[in-house]
Amino acid sequence: MSTTVTLDQIRTILPHIDLLPLIEQGFVEYSSGQAVVPPVGELLFEDPPGDVHIKYGFIKGGDYYVIKVASGFYRNPSIGLASSQGLMLLFSQKTGVLVAILLDEGFLTDIRTAAAGAVAARHLAPKSVDRIGIIGAGTQARVQLEHLCAVTACRNVMVWTPKSDEFDPYRASFVGSNLQIEFADTPSEVASRCHLIVTTTPSTQPLLRAADVQPGTHITAVGSDTAEKIELEPELVARADVVVVDSLPQSESRGEVFRAVSDGAISRDDVSELGSVIARNAVGRTANNQITVCDLTGVAVQDLQIARAVYEAVAVETNRRPR
């Protein structure tokens, strides 16, 4: 009989899980060819508009395979529902038996994405960061900042969002922390004052420009996960000394690197994978004054790692042996 884990249980258990090493391990396995991750499945709806992504895969020789469903229906808030919905399913890789249903409603996708942002910063950010820049002020902008606190001592933050009604909720979510949060008027103000920047919007127009970014900056771009979305001007990707993606195959059809390559700004040969950088099989930042860019479109190994960790923690908690 499978274990069903509710969103409340997930929220309770997650702070007790040391996620970053698990996500790092997932990327390393992925980039070393130990993971099987087929192309992302997709369903698109028009009325009301919505998109569903199905990510699935496994690490060879592991215990489980994962199927993750995550959707965004952007009119949901008008009827009192969250835009993000979905769940994760964990199956035995040896028998196909359903092991766990994680009713996360998109929450674990938010968290594993933020954890990947922290991993990218750990491996690519310059040694000392005096200000963190965040583009966007939604859920992902919040969890990215939360997770960055684990990998940098910097607590000065500059945030840009086009929606001024997001200022107060964003600030409120960090009450009681020691973060100093100010809001910028433009994305270029963020670029000119911050050396560790995360972009988290669904923009379809570039927000950060090559001319605005200072030497010695790391940028993690998590907003674009389709062919249409873009946050970084292709010239900015071209100006970077190091360009890294979570998944080279996915970067052929989605994200910043897809756009920069399509634009002719960079060659695919200029790009390496985060898991290879972590494992030191690819060159990451080699000097403090370099510009580095990490483009994350989200890989099923992240879903596998977080789903497995949550399930196993719940199983221990309830004194049941994981299967």
Give residues in contact with a second copy (CB under 8 A).
2, 4, 36, 38, 41-43, 45, 48, 50, 52, 54, 56-58, 65, 67, 69, 71-73, 76, 79, 81, 85-87, 89, 91, 93-98, 101, 103, 105
Cβ at position 68, least distance to a second copy in Å: 11
How deeply is 125 buried, as exposed, middle or buried, from its count of CB atoms within 10 A (0-12, 13-18, 19+)?
buried
Element at 317 (helix H, strand E): helix 300-317
| Close Cβ partners of 170 (under 8 Å, ≥ 6 residues apart) | 137, 141, 142, 159, 161, 181
Q: Which is nearer to a second copy, 57 or 133 (CB)?
A: 57
Q: Which is nearer to a second copy, 2 or 173 (CB)?
A: 2
Cβ at position 106, least distance to a second copy in Å: 9
Q: Which is nearer to a second copy, 61 or 176 (CB)?
A: 61
Active site residues: 68
* First-to-last C-alpha distance (Å) of the chain: 10
| Strand duo 218-221 + 292-295: pairing | parallel
Q: Evaluate whether 133 touches 181 at the Cβ level (below 8 Å).
A: no
Cβ at position 41, least distance to a second copy in Å: 5
Strand partners, 180: 156
**C-alpha distance from residue 16 to each of 148, 272, 317 (Å):** 17, 32, 11
Cβ at position 128, least distance to a second copy in Å: 42
Closest CA to 66 of 101, 25, 29: 101
